[in-house]
Chains A and B, each alone.
Chain A
């Protein structure tokens, strides 16, 4: 932990991929800070660079074609980029753990749950076989798997999707990590199971004091879980704010579009659901100016000429837009319904 209490501080991170189509700047100058015990939400559409950001933190970017070309990743005072791969391995799974999107494919189908759970603690905590086995059962109990003593000897395909995600969480938390990165942990699950899994993560975070980064494209998910939110688009941070502020007064047209796209059955019944027009841009061929220009409801000439500035709205609230202040003022003056 450095002086100001940050567990993770990412500064101007750039991760590029060399493809046949040219250089893809999947993450292009991302900065954020995560305080100890805090939960940060990273939202954005597919391909906005959310996952790549977090894989970069773990140094899990497949190289080639990917490469972290710039920036710092300060985890507990140490720049992860400067560590040798062996030192990074001591952090992976021990101090930073990850949960992935698809629990169906993220567990090894050929190995028993027990093997997969035990190998983490045997590696990082130096457990004996017996200790690791008991610890694994305890972890399964913690994440709410009924009858863990017999279930531990099952294979992943003998579990349902929600149960598999619980196993993933048990595995991620077995070494009591300081930071948990949950990469779309509920996307592949049924809605009812989604709520259970989120509740579980929230509960375990409170009990174990883990800091959490929650990656999602579902604003409903981050609303109840996070203190801070980063909105990503085309490898850039478009808006960054405390969760309450971001939902109450967004200062970026893209954030507004995302917020408006969330279905609101209470007030909008019968109305057609809003969607942001167009598709996310091809990151290999970004236009001059703002990457969001083609889809923005208030695009002006300057947006097509110049890259927008990262405007500070107030303490901890930034927005990447030529008209950030105007959009912020609009948000405060009217409800979301009347805009766009």
Chain B
């Protein structure tokens, strides 16, 4: 088990470097650069700046310089935000995204699990059809459509909630809902399917034959097996959640990591883009590792070796 975790942690390093390298290459291949905008600098000044950032060297030297900086955990300074290090920028904007993301997944889990379990117990009931139809809707409507609709109704229609920006609890409701919708829907459907399958299995019949009440059958015997699909989905879901915040932060004008990420790409702010990409890729790999470890806790048949 410990060996497994150690191996998986070690493999994150080359993976992250690969992701950073590909991103770096993509930025370089794309036409234009940070300095190519309508405001042209005098050639001497531009040459000076480029020398400062090492941009006058041949590309392979720049690449190795970049890699050696990344390995040391130092992404350098942002090109756009003068004198601010990439690490500081990430640190400053991460809490916004983390708050929205964590709340959204929590809401998605709570609503999705309860809806899925109830739908599976009352299969083919009105609740089952109703919740699954809603879930289908939630899956089909993209968050950049759902967000503005929620704003139209709850902020500009009935004036219950603020339409955008960071602030108190009320500012959180709409972005969290927008972000959570699709995961809520997916988790509800996964839970329902998983529970239906497990509750038909032989060991559930055994549990019933022992005289256990339907509640103990469900909670002691059913739920663990039924939730395994939800756990496997958590890995990709958390990754998607990070991507989702990019859109939601844009829609609700929240100064989170996603918003900064888009800005950095549009600004051709190479160090900042690379820093965020490296950070997010490591985060996703750590999430996946946590998911794999929790499998083993849920299902004793899974061995790590």
What is the distance, in angstroms, from A257's C-beta to the closest C-beta of chain B?
30
B209 touches A108 (CB 8 A): no
Determine how close the nearest CB of chain B comes to the CB of A153; give it in whole angstroms.
Answer: 11
Complexed CA–CA distance, A62 and B200 (Å): 9
Compute how far the CA of A109 lies from the CA of B206 in the bound complex, rounded to whole angstroms: 12
* Distance of A149 Cα from B57 Cα, bound (Å): 72
Q: Which residues of B contact A105 (CB under 8 A)?
A: 201-203
How many chain B residues touch A (CB < 8 A): the figure is: 22
Q: Once the chains are docked, how many angstroms separate the CA of A151 from the CA of B200?
A: 28
Q: How far is the CB of B121 from chain A (nearest CB, A)?
A: 13
Q: Is the interface of B mostly helix, strand, loop or mixed?
A: helix
Chain B residue numbers with a CB within 8 Å of A212 are none
- Cβ contact within 8 Å between B211 and A124: yes
Query: Which of chain B's residues have a CB closer than 8 A to the CB of A93?
Result: 209-212
| Stretch from A29-37, A94-102, A325-333 forming part of the interface with B | A94-102
B211 partner, pick from A92, A106, A109, beta carbons under 8 A = A92
Q: Tell yes or no: A1 within 8 A of B by CB.
A: no
Judging by beta carbons under 8 Å apart, are A109 and B300 in contact? yes
A94 near B211 with CB under 8 A, answer yes
B56 at the interface (CB under 8 A from A): no
Q: A189 CB to closest chain B CB, in angstroms?
A: 15
User: Are the C-beta atoms of A58 and B209 separated by less than 8 Å?
Assistant: yes
- Which of the residues A100, A124, A157, A168 comes within 8 Å of B301, measured between beta carbons? A157
Docked pose: A34 CA to B165 CA in angstroms: 76
B92, CB-defined interface residue at 8 Å? no
Q: How far is the CB of A336 from chain B (nearest CB, A)?
A: 37
Binary A-proximity of B76-108 (CB < 8 A = 1, otherwise 0): 000000000000000000000000000000000
Q: Which residues 137-152 in A have Cβ within 8 Å of B in the complex? A: none
- Kindly provide the distance from the CB of A67 to the nearest chain B CB, expressed in whole angstroms: 15
The reply to whether the CB of A90 lies closer than 8 angstroms to some CB of chain B is yes
B206 and A106 contact, CB distance less than 8 A: yes
Could you tell me the distance between the alpha carbons of A106 and B208 in the complex, rounded to whole angstroms? 11
* A-B interface pairs (CB < 8 A), number: 71
Min Cβ gap A150→B in Å is 16
The residues of A that contact B220 with a CB separation of less than 8 Å are: 111, 119
Bound CA–CA A184/B300 (angstroms): 28
Task: Say which residue of A89, A91, A109, A157 sits within 8 Å of B212 (CB atoms).
Answer: A89
Name the distance in Å between A95's Cβ and chain B's nearest Cβ.
Answer: 9
Cβ-defined contact, B210 with A100, below 8 A: no
Shortest Cβ gap from A106 to chain B (Å): 5
Structural contact, B221 and A108, CB atoms closer than 8 A:
yes
Q: Does B37 contact A (CB under 8 A)?
A: no
Q: Check if A155 is an interface residue, CB within 8 A of chain B.
A: yes
Q: Does B140 contact A (CB under 8 A)?
A: no
Most buried by B among A91, A102, A111: A111
Which one of A58, A108, A109 lies within 8 Å of B207 (CB-CB)?
A108
Among A62, A110, A124, the residue within 8 A (CB) of B300 is: A110
Residues of A within 8 A of B224 (CB): 110
Whether the Cβ atoms of A91 and B300 lie closer than 8 Å is no
User: Is B299 among interface residues, defined by CB-CB distance under 8 A?
Assistant: yes
Complexed CA–CA distance, A89 and B216 (Å): 12
**With the chains together, A168 CA to B205 CA distance in Å?**
13
A119 near B300 with CB under 8 A, answer no
Bound-state CA distance A168–B300 (Å) is 19
Q: Closest Cβ of chain B: how far from A15's Cβ, in Å?
A: 16
C-alpha gap A52/B206 in the complex (Å): 15
Most buried by A among B225, B300, B301: B300
**Closest B residue, CB atoms, query A120:** B210
| Chain A positions 203-230 with a Cβ under 8 Å from a chain B Cβ | none
Check B298 for interface membership: any CB of A closer than 8 A: yes
- With contact pairs A60-B205, A109-B299 given, residues A91 and B211 touching in the complex (Cβ less than 8 Å): yes
Q: Report if B36 contacts A (CB, 8 A).
A: no
Which residues from chain B contact A92 at a C-beta distance below 8 Å? Answer: 208-211
Which B residues form the contact surface with A (CB < 8 A)?
200-203, 205-213, 216, 220-221, 224-225, 298-301
Beyond the given pairs A92-B210, A109-B203, 12 more chain A to chain B contacts, judged by CB atoms under 8 angstroms and listed by A's residue number, are A58-B209, A93-B210, A93-B212, A94-B211, A100-B202, A100-B209, A107-B203, A107-B206, A108-B207, A110-B300, A111-B221, A168-B206
| A/B interface sample: 10 pairs, CB < 8 A | A92-B208, A105-B201, A106-B205, A108-B221, A109-B301, A110-B224, A110-B299, A111-B221, A120-B210, A171-B206
Residues of A near any B CB (own CB < 8 A): 58, 60, 62, 89-94, 97-98, 100, 102, 105-112, 119-120, 123-124, 155, 157, 168, 171
Smallest CB-CB A-B distances: 9 pairs: A93-B211, A92-B211, A93-B210, A105-B202, A108-B203, A110-B224, A155-B300, A98-B209, A89-B211
